[in-house]
Amino acid sequence: VVVVVDEAYLEFVRMPDAVDGLATYRAHPNVVLFRTFSKAYGLAGFRVGYAVAHSEIAAALRAVSLPFGVSAVAQVAAVASLEAESALLERVDALVAERDRVGAALKDVGWDGPEARIPDSQGNFFWFALGERTAEFAAACEEAGIVVRPFAGEGCRVSVGETEANDRLVEVAARFA
């Protein structure tokens, strides 16, 4: 059985007991790490990332991957992002600080109780478990100029954005807590 550790949001993680993907990979021959340049690196449109895998699994991945699946432009952008790591980490730190501010504000308006709770976010988004109120929440967010990703009957995923938009999100979320 191949076990995939998806580290798409690794740069955003601040929990002290987070899984060490590389240590897990080194300890188990069936573990593969997936990394992307879509999230922290801001290169979602380029669809570029990589896997860390032991040779047998890497060979199987190569056998089923599309040839030239990553464009030359995407490769250049990924390398440039790696070369600008300090700027990347500054942006990520700023986003994490904003995520923490918004998370605290959401809890202050009622998203910390038995009926309405948001999970501790270690990514660049919040999950609102809204159940049947999902469509109503998504419509209220749209009316406030906030783009969300609704999952019918389940909830909404809302990315951490600019401060003004995040403040509007807190206002809308307060009505649904």
pLDDT digits (tens, 9 = 90+) for 79-96: 999 999 999 999 999 999
Residue 61 — very low, low, confident or very high, per pLDDT cuts 50/70/90? very high
**What is the rounded average pLDDT of the residues 96-110?**
96
What number of other Cβ atoms are within 10 A of residue 99's Cβ? 21
Domain that holds residue 64: 3-83
What pLDDT score does 42 carry?
Answer: 85
Among the listed residues 36, 32, 26, the one whose alpha carbon sits nearest the alpha carbon of residue 57:
32
Q: Say which CATH number the domain at 108 has.
A: 3.90.1150.10
CA distance linking residue 101 with residue 61, whole number of Å:
40
60 shares its domain with 104:
no
Residue that finishes a domain, picked among 83, 117, 132: 83
93 shares its domain with 77:
no
pLDDT above 90 for 116: no
Per residue in 125-150, pLDDT (tens digit) is 999 999 999 999 999 999 999 999 99
Half-sphere exposure of 169 (CA within 13 A, CB side): 29
CA distance linking residue 23 with residue 10, whole number of Å:
14
**How many domains is the chain built from?**
2
Residue that finishes a domain, picked among 83, 118, 145: 83
Q: Say which CATH number the domain at 53 has.
A: 3.40.640.10
Among the listed residues 154, 158, 88, 82, the one whose alpha carbon sits nearest the alpha carbon of residue 123:
158
What pLDDT score does 114 carry?
Answer: 80
34 shares its domain with 8:
yes
**What is the rounded average pLDDT of the residues 145-162?**
96
How far is residue 14 from each of residues 74, 96, 112, 148, measured CA to CA in Å? 28, 9, 20, 24
Q: Classify strands 155-159 and 149-151 as parallel, antiparallel or unpaired.
A: antiparallel
9 shares its domain with 34:
yes
CA distance linking residue 170 with residue 143, whole number of Å:
14
**Percentage of the residues of the chain whose pLDDT score is greater than 90:** 85
